[in-house]
Structure formats: structure tokens, C-alpha cells
Amino acid sequence: MWPAVLLASLASFLTKWAGHLLPESLLERPLIRRAAALLPIGLLAALLAIQTFWSPTGFVVDARAAGVAVAVVALVLRAPFLVVVLSAAATAALLRAFGVG
């Protein structure tokens, strides 16, 4: 596992370093700016999906999915961030306490 962590760290460093070497005119292009703005959203969505629906045995729907669903509802209702996080955590904890997931 450590070789993979070290390799990922090196790749991350080299990617960031390469970004500093690129000419500014390239980075100011509209397509590049739009991609740079949308890329973190896609990466965070993928991370959320993996952390919510994946387990060592494969695809799973458990208390984590219910917590994310509650968080989505709280976000749609424009709840403060702390309320979103606490409601999602409480939902997952209560379901796990009752043996669901």
C-alpha cells in the first residue's frame, strides 16, 4: 500500500509543478478555465459516491446512503452547513443503532 501512496504523492506533486511551468496564456483559455472550475465538483461527487455506496464486498446501500439522502434534503431546504452535517450523522447513527446497515 505504501508504494501506491508514495506514487500518488509524487504524481500529485509533479502535476502541480507542471501547472506552474505552463504559460499563462494557456491557462487563460475559456475551455481550460471552465474545466478547472468544474473538475473539483466532479471529483468530490465521485468521492461521495464511492464512500457512500462501496464496501470491500462491493456495492452496498446502508445507513450511509440514508445519511446522504437526509443531507441532500437539508441542503435543498437551505439548512445551515452544521445542521446538514449533524442531521446526516444522526440519521446514520440512529439507523446503525437499530441494526440497519
- AA identity, residue 43: L
Please state the separation of Cα 60 from the chain's center in Å.
17
pLDDT tens per residue across span 3-14? 999 999 999 999
CA distance 33 to 98: 47
Looking at the whole model, is its pTM more than 0.75? no
pLDDT tens per residue across span 62-81? 999 999 999 999 999 999 99
Stretch 1-27: mean pLDDT = 91
What cell does 37 get? 472550475
Q: Do residues 88 and 71 lie in contact, with contact meaning Cβ atoms separated by under 8 Å?
A: yes
pLDDT tens per residue across span 29-71? 999 999 989 999 999 999 999 999 998 888 999 999 999 999 9
What cell does 45 get? 461527487
More confident residue, 1 or 45: 45
CA distance 86 to 15: 36
What cell does 48 get? 461521495
- AA identity, residue 48: L
